A and B are shown apart, each in its own frame.
Chain A
């Protein structure tokens, strides 16, 4: 066998050596064997809980009632669909996702374009670390500390506002500003991510195109066109999709800033679910809502993968 040329597509070739090696070498066994650990994880921590969740969603079950679950058919789903509060939370979440991701994308692209060609920036690595730091700061800490920054009595933001002669505002306490205030923190946290994605998109512009143009001399619009022309647009799209999905899940950050208040002005659907499940312990109802969110997530994921394949095809 030595000396033979290795050719692609010969995976099934009988391997040298005996017993175990032969056993492992058989195509039908090895792939499965390698998958066992992940599948085990998947079954124990995903399949079983999901089935559990699905089952419970058909029951009336409160953890604090001391009673066994009672089968209720589709009652929980009916209640949720008829609950105007949930619809309001969902539409609020939608608004949060669209406006948040929209602004992050625009701002992120602008800053990304700005940072293009920054190779000669003194201390570039430090500057980028500072720019990316909001992404890696514990959301619990961000939320808590922004509360202090926004505070109308002790907060630094209001001190600045008063310093320049503007009236102080109770950003998180006023129902007309709370949503925007929370959104600003989300934008602060995640715009760096879109900068990152834009830089990646820029890096994907073919060298030949770059050599043709002096980057310094390009207008913003021309730079943008360069990116959008090539497969940078798929990268950006993936970025937007990732942010959309993540933004849909937002919970820690807002919970620590406003608890969803004042009133319900910052209550996103993930917070609603959390409160119903772990503050009110209404497990049946919450399971049903979780199932609905799972379906929405699957739709997001499917879109995401669709874009991926689209890109692969376009590149091929």
Chain B
């Protein structure tokens, strides 16, 4: 009996911790069902008749749907490209260890260690020079570039874990490298591929600075919309912000829920394997 009581208390504490961390987000979601006056009401309103107006208005904005599409399109295509090319490179690094592997891996990583404002500065100047600003190709390829380092790191770790014997067996049986890579290696490193995909997806999905600087009217994503839409005609547009944030939070939260076991691999770009 005593253990059950203890266990209940223990579980209650765990839930409390989770709820404390979730509370500010819950507050955002709650606000999204309030009117503008209710959001600003003091003391805060806890009981109210929820309204869907904020969502109706949000989806009625032509620009919002366009930006939501951009968010999806940019993040999905950039991540797919990045993981595809990274997989090839990771395979090469893992199996053939070409000269300079360590150095290249190091350089790749250092790109990601740079503060965003330092990283974007030269790219911006280059995009100015080449006229690539505010083009889908320019944005997608840039995001792909930014997703490559972690993808290579994650995938190399996973491919290292696949015994070269598999390749050898395939080679001996006359299979082409392409076949070995796609049929033999890929299925075995699927967890790594998924981890790379979700981690970079979350990054590109939430990215603001690069999109703001090298994007434009055509390619702006939702975080940019959020920053520029902060003010309505007078006042801070809290209803817009809360509804937009709530909608935008759904995909990453679903990813965390369904791919929880890959989260660690992604967040540490493959240097730490393990499950939550």
Contact = CB atoms under 8 A, between A and B. Distances in A.
Direct contact between the two chains A and B in their complex (CB within 8 A): yes
Interface of A: 1-2, 4, 6-8, 10-11, 13, 15-17, 21, 24-25, 27, 30-32, 34-35, 37-39, 41-42, 44-46, 48-50, 52-53, 56, 111, 114-115, 118, 120-123, 125-142, 144-146, 148-149, 153-154, 156, 159, 162-163, 188, 191-193, 196-197, 199-200, 203-204, 235, 238-239, 242, 245, 248-249, 251-252, 256, 269-271, 273-274, 277-278, 283, 286-287, 289-290, 293-294, 297-298, 300-302, 304-305, 308
B188 to A, nearest CB: 16
Given A129-B260, A140-B223, A273-B118, A6 B168 contact: yes
Interface in B29-68: 39-44
B232 interface: no
A156 B27 contact: yes
A200 B21 contact: no
Given A24-B177, A249-B115, A251-B117, A305 B106 contact: yes
9 contacts: A6-B171, A44-B145, A118-B10, A130-B22, A139-B206, A146-B24, A203-B275, A270-B115, A274-B117
B274 A203 contact: yes
Nearest to B251: A136
Given A200-B272, A204-B274, A45 B42 contact: no
A122 B11 contact: yes
A36 to B, nearest CB: 8
Contacts of A35: 88-89, 92-93, 98
Interface of B: 7, 10-11, 13-15, 17-19, 21-22, 24-25, 27-28, 39-44, 84-86, 88-89, 91-93, 95-96, 98, 104, 106-111, 113-118, 121-123, 125-126, 141-142, 144-145, 148, 152, 164-165, 167-169, 171-174, 176-178, 202, 205-206, 208-209, 213, 222-223, 226-227, 230, 236, 238, 241-242, 244-245, 248-249, 252-253, 255-257, 260, 263-264, 267-268, 271-276
Contacts of A156: 27, 44
Contacts of A148: 39, 236, 238
A128 B263 CA distance: 11
A144 B230 contact: yes
Nearest to B8: A122
Given A129-B257, A140-B208, A49 B177 contact: no
B20 to A, nearest CB: 9
A301 B245 contact: no
A2 to B, nearest CB: 7
A34 B88 contact: yes
B162 to A, nearest CB: 13
Contacts of B117: 251, 270-271, 273-274, 277-278, 290
A63 to B, nearest CB: 9
B125 A297 contact: no
Interface of B (DSSP majority class): helix
B209 A274 contact: yes
Given A31-B98, A120-B7, A286 B110 contact: no
Interface of A (DSSP majority class): helix
Nearest to A238: B271
A34 B125 CA distance: 30
Given A27-B96, A273-B118, A49 B113 contact: no
Given A21-B176, A141-B28, A251-B116, A41 B148 contact: yes
A42 B31 CA distance: 44
B234 to A, nearest CB: 15
A137 B276 contact: no
The 8 closest A-B pairs by CB, nearest first: A49-B122, A6-B168, A31-B96, A290-B118, A37-B85, A34-B92, A136-B252, A53-B122
B89 A38 contact: yes
B123 A294 contact: no
A270 B116 contact: yes
Contacts of B169: 6
Most buried by A among B104, B117, B248, B252: B117
B145 A41 contact: yes
A42 B165 CA distance: 31
A10 B28 CA distance: 59
Given A41-B141, A274-B209, 9 more contacts: A46-B111, A111-B17, A131-B22, A138-B206, A138-B249, A142-B24, A252-B223, A277-B121, A298-B110
B272 A235 contact: yes
B112 to A, nearest CB: 8
Contacts of B263: 132, 196
Contacts of A48: 126
Contact of A290 (B14, B113, B122): B122
